[in-house]
């Protein structure tokens, strides 16, 4: 989540509206336009209204939020911004709307209305969108790609060089080999997609090697990105003319333009093939990435939670990942982006000092106010019975008046370690988990034992970030043991992507017979043993 105060344009929102903002999208050539969603589902716009990009019709710029009636109560799930400029947005039901500059067909419709949202006539449920400078891309629920707008460099992937005013399906290798696309990203004049098999295909302008195909020749149809054989890509991001790709094992690859060091390779030389980006910590791995086609910045998150950035930074050129003292990828673009635009549709966190939340957090492990202490390995953690009963059904049952524990001032815990139990109790006070990935399995065990479903979900997400070929079998067994179905499926799919390597590991050999049998049956049903 991002704090609303991170973006200058949002500071103009009146307090009575600002306190209810749940999502925001900041865009524009100077980061001076914004669309916000408030808790009741209403949608507002404010800022500069060049080319009608606020979606409120032809009119002057406004620092007073104005409602976009047609989008209210639509539950918007994604936004994309083209430098043309034009805007796309998608609703939860899969409807696609567009507005703004449409001179190259990038709005995807032929209606005269350009300054208010118009429904794009695509008879498919759209799940993700992306914009280049003057072209637009939509991903459907079926995994198909549709493209429209400027096509001077082949960025639509249609095999022709003419612009398109309405969406057309991208075929080529994607259709020939029955590829299902799961994610899409756009640079200034190129497009790249990720398939469910972890492969990448790209097309469009390639003057800086941004297509990753080993040369600098433009492509009018999808071409497979080279040099990533054996790598399963799980996320992609595009800058203006460069690409970042994150593998499921935490490796980060980059390619394309590099005049500002945006590839993170300690040089300013371009490269046309994916190249491994080093981490700032030995044995570390990356867990998330970010870039935007309006600038030359790259950003990523390490497993430790540290945020790194590189590339163009307020007149400086950062050639390799540099840790920054901020707490989210959104903040990288708020602090260092020129202009300050959001690289994604962002959830807003309202930080209010001295709130009840802060007071409760400060009370954790405070011996002066607590009425109960848990003792683990000779160390005490001071808590409050009333809060535990409010937050946790396990404690609500345990601390009833007819139970012995309700009259105790100290309770010894032997089943879990001090660090794990402390993380659990802190979660009850803060709703956040602060624990290393190595202890997350024990915390998952605790959450399962105490029937804390939300904590289980957080643990599962934390454990997913540490999955590797060497430990996935161990984590799969733990997921099965502790009824963590989401983690179990994640580990199974990871194993399918690296089946040969996983089955040769010591942790796989240590699986019990029933687990191996069920794994083989499920792998066979997934087509792993087809000739």
* More confident of the two residues 460 and 177: 460
Residues 166-208 pLDDT 10s: 999 999 999 888 899 999 999 999 999 999 999 999 999 999 9
Is the per-residue pLDDT at 527 higher than 90? no
CA distances from 66 to 62, 75, 346 (A): 8, 18, 19
Q: Show the 3-state SS of 125-193.
A: CEEEEEECCCEEEEEECCCCEEEEECCCCCCCCCCCCCCEEEEEECCCHHHHCCCCEEEEEECCCEEEE
Residues 203-226 pLDDT 10s: 999 999 999 999 999 999 999 999
Phi-psi region of 365 (alpha: psi -120 to 50; beta: other; left: phi over 0): left
Q: Cβ neighbours of residue 119 under 8 Å, at least 6 residues apart?
A: 95, 96, 97, 109
Cα(88)–Cα(132) distance, integer angstroms:
11
Domains of the chain with CATH codes: 77-230 (2.130.10.30), 356-526 (3.30.710.10)
Residues 253-264 pLDDT 10s: 999 999 999 999
Structure tokens at 184: 């899409």
When pLDDT is cut at 50, 70 and 90, the band that residue 1 belongs to is low
Q: Cβ neighbours of residue 480 under 8 Å, at least 6 residues apart?
A: 488, 515
Length of the chain: 531
When pLDDT is cut at 50, 70 and 90, the band that residue 406 belongs to is confident
The distance between the two most distant Cα atoms of the chain, rounded to a whole number of Å, is 79
* Element containing residue 41 per DSSP (H, E): none
Under 8 Å between Cβ of 236 and 244? yes
Under 8 Å between Cβ of 319 and 308? no
* pLDDT computed for residue 531 by the predictor: 58
Cα(450)–Cα(468) distance, integer angstroms:
28
Residues 368-405 pLDDT 10s: 999 999 999 999 999 999 999 999 999 998 888 677 77
Neighbours of 478 (CB within 10 A): 21
Residues 225-274 pLDDT 10s: 999 999 999 999 999 999 999 999 999 999 999 999 999 999 999 999 99
| Residue appearing with tokens 């999502």 | 23
């Amino acid at each position: 989540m991002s704090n609303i105060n991170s973006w200058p344009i949002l500071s103009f929102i009146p307090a009575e509206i600002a306190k209810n903002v749940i999502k925001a999208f900041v865009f524009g050539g100077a980061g001076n336009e914004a669309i916000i969603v408030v808790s009741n589902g209403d949608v507002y716009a404010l800022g500069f209204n060049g080319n009608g990009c606020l979606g409120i019709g032809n009119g002057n710029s406004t620092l007073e939020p104005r409602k976009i009636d047609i989008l209210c109560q639509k539950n918007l799930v994604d936004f994309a911004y083209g430098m043309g400029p034009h805007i796309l947005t998608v609703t939860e039901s899969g409807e696609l709307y567009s507005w703004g500059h449409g001179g190259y067909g990038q709005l995807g419709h032929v209606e005269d209305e350009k300054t208010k949202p118009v429904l794009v006539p695509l008879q498919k449920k759209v799940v993700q969108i992306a914009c280049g400078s003057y072209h637009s891309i939509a991903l459907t629920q079926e995994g198909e790609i549709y493209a429209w707008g400027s096509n001077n460099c082949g960025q639509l992937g249609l095999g022709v060089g003419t612009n398109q005013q309405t969406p057309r399906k991208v075929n080529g290798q994607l259709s020939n080999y029955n590829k299902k696309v799961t994610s899409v990203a756009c640079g200034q004049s190129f497009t790249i997609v990720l398939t469910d098999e972890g492969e990448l295909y790209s097309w469009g302008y390639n003057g800086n090697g941004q297509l990753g195909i080993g040369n600098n020749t433009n492509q009018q149809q999808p071409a497979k990105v080279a040099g990533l054989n054996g790598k399963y890509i799980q996320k992609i991001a595009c800058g203006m003319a460069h690409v970042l790709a994150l593998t499921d094992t935490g490796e980060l690859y980059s390619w394309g333009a590099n005049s500002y060091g945006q590839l993170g390779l300690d040089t300013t030389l371009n490269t046309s093939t994916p190249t491994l980006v080093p981490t700032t910590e030995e044995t570390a791995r990356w867990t998330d990435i970010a870039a935007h086609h309006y600038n030359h910045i790259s950003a990523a998150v390490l497993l430790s939670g540290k945020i790194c950035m590189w590339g163009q930074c307020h007149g400086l050129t950062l050639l390799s990942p540099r840790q920054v003292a901020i707490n989210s990828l959104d903040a990288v673009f708020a602090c260092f982006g020129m202009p300050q635009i959001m690289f994604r549709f962002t959830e807003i966190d309202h930080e209010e000092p001295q709130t009840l939340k802060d007071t409760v957090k400060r009370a954790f492990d405070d011996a002066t106010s607590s009425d109960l202490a848990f003792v683990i390995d000779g160390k005490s953690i001071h808590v409050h019975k009333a809060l535990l009963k409010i937050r946790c059904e396990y404690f609500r049952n345990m601390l009833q008046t007819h139970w012995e524990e309700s009259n105790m001032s100290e309770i010894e815990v032997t089943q879990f370690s001090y660090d794990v139990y402390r993380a659990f109790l802190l979660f009850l006070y803060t709703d956040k988990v602060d624990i290393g990935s190595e202890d997350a399995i024990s915390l998952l065990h605790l959450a399962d034992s105490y029937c804390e479903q939300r904590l289980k979900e957080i643990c599962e997400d934390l454990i997913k970030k540490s999955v590797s070929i060497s430990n996935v079998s161990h984590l799969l067994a733990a997921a099965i043991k502790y009824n963590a179905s989401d983690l179990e499926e994640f580990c199974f799919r990871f194993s399918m992507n690296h089946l040969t390597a996983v089955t040769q590991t010591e942790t796989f050999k240590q699986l019990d017979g029933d687990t191996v049998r069920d794994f083989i049956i499920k792998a066979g049903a997934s087509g792993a043993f087809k000739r």
